Amino acid sequence: MKVAVLKETRADEHRVALVPQGVQTLIKSGLEVAVEAGAGMQAGVSDDQYRQAGATVAGSAAEALKDAGMALLINPPETGALSGMAEGTILVSFLSPMTNHALVKALKDKKITAISMEMVPRITRAQSMDALSSQATVAGYKAVLMAADTLPKFLPMFTTAAGTIRPGKALVLGAGVAGLQAIATAKRLGAVVEAFDVRPAVKEQVMSLGAKFLETEHDVTAEGEGGYAKELSEEQHQKELELIAAHIADADLVITTAQIPGRKAPVLITADMVKSMKSGSVIVDLAAESGGNCELTKAGENIVAHGVNVLGPTNLPATIPVHASQMYSKNIVTLVAEFVTKEGELNLDFANDVVGPSTVTHAGEIVNERVKQAVGA
């Protein structure tokens, strides 16, 4: 089977779905790999490196897709790439299937077997395939660097002849993979870190990284399926906001990471909270693309409100493309091994506890029940 690796077309994208090491792994499995020319350039991979790994380099997406039985991408395919895929092609990519209903319907109509990286279940054996987690690691790390670069203060404590500089204070809202990486990075840079999450199970992880876990006497816990947070009741949300408001005024930098799959991101920082913060403080909102955790966030923009820098970055993993691509490539190669045998034969077993939940469309049908309900709604 021929596997096509396409060049990403999103304007702010610098990653590539498969690096040369991944090419070698797929070829050892009996697959043929064609990479669109220039696909890896911004991730530090030349066309010659792909050739040396055993891939052929195609002059265009159409050429790469010709006779291909599988296509690998990071971002959802645009119309041009989708039209170049033959019926029955297996597409493995991020697809945003819970909200990108038009794409899901197009994949169904085209009879593409679409496997969504977002839908990989969070089970122990699928950790090496979990691209949401690998890319969230990159985002959490980079968010703190952005905040530190914008903050008009030092983060670590300094003792100098001119006096002692007190360490900066960081508040991390949401202690999933991105939040935990943000905590670890802020601690490495010398900040005093506090964190809050509606999932009490993460308290031990937060504390193991040296941060203080914020708690309230009121019940604001909401743990959903697969370790994700779920939506709070209105009363719980108000108690959550009160807790955050009591701590945010003293923070020099705030990293927000709270998202609910298939829903608009919850508002955790109100305009009044921003107003209460010290001038020069920084908020980095990692939920900017899904509506933002801060009421004032503007996706893709850095604004100043009440003297506070509110950063709404989009696609942060693409800003560290070399390692982000290596991690994603490992995720996707491991996932492909779930439905391609060591002899290169296709074995799409929907009873498989990874392949089944990850598959969105197949043979002209939406086969994922959650996505089917979302699209129907």
Claim to verify: residue 31 and residue 151 sit in the same structural domain: no
* Catalytic (active site) residue 141: no
In a domain, residue 212? The reply is yes
Confidence of residue 330 (pLDDT cuts 50, 70, 90): very high
Q: Which helix (H) or strand (E) holds 332?
A: helix 321-336
pLDDT, greater one: 114 or 229 = 114
Does residue 130 carry a catalytic annotation?
yes
Q: Do 10 and 95 share a structural domain? A: yes
Both 344 and 312 in one domain: the answer is: no
Domain count, the chain: 2
Catalytic residue among 10, 24, 188, 228: 228
Q: Which domain holds residue 80?
A: 2-119+338-370
Assess whether pLDDT exceeds 90 at residue 215: no
From 29, 93, 116, 133, active-site residue: 133
| 3-state SS, one letter per residue, for 15-75 | CCCCCHHHHHHHHHCCCEEEEECCCCHHHCCCHHHHHHHCCEEECCHHHHHCCCCEEECCC
Q: In the chain, at which residue ranges do the beta strands (DSSP E only) sit? A: 2-5, 32-36, 56-58, 70-72, 90-93, 113-116, 158-160, 163-165, 169-173, 192-196, 212-213, 253-256, 282-285, 302-305, 308-311, 359-362, 365-366
310, 167: one domain? yes
> Is 50 considered catalytic here?
no
User: Among 256, 323, 240, 252, which Cα is nearest to 296's?
Assistant: 256
326 belongs to a structural domain: no
Annotated catalytic residue 250: no
φ, ψ of residue 146 to 5 degrees: the values are -60, -45
Tokens of 362: 């197949």
Dig out the tokens for 168 from the structure.
């900066």
Q: Is residue 131 part of a domain?
A: no
The helix or strand, by DSSP H or E, that contains position 358, with its residue range, turns out to be helix 355-358
Kindly report whether the global pTM for this prediction surpasses the value 0.85. yes
Choose among 194, 179, 176, 196: nearest CA to 144.
Answer: 179
Residues in CB range of 46: below 8 A, 6 or more apart: 40
The residue to which tokens 């309230």 are assigned: 216
Confidence band for 232, pLDDT divided at 50, 70 and 90 = low
CA dist 38 and 112 (Å) reads 25
For residue 225, give every residue at least 6 positions away whose Cβ sits within 8 Å of its Cβ, in sequence order, or none.
Answer: none
- 163 and 295 within one domain: yes
Q: What is the pLDDT of residue 229?
A: 54
Find all residues with CB under 8 Å of 330, minimum gap 6, and list them.
Answer: 22, 128, 134
**3-state class of 165 per DSSP?**
strand
Residues 179 and 294 grouped into a single domain: yes
At 68, is the pLDDT very low, low, confident or very high (cuts 50, 70, 90)?
very high
Strand partners, 366: 361
Query: Considering only CA atoms, which of 163, 213, 209 is closest in space to residue 187?
Result: 209
% of the chain exceeding 70 in pLDDT: 95
Determine contact, residues 180/206, Cβ cutoff 8 Å: yes
127 part of the active site: yes
Local confidence band at 216 (pLDDT 50, 70, 90 cut-offs): confident
Q: What CATH number is attached to the domain comprising 31?
A: 3.40.50.720
Tokens coding 360: 């969105």
In a domain, 333, yes or no: no
- Annotated active-site residue in 96, 116, 130, 197: 130
Query: Side-chain half-sphere of 70: how many Cα atoms within 13 Å?
Result: 24
Residues 239 and 287 in one domain: yes
Domain-embedded: residue 124: no
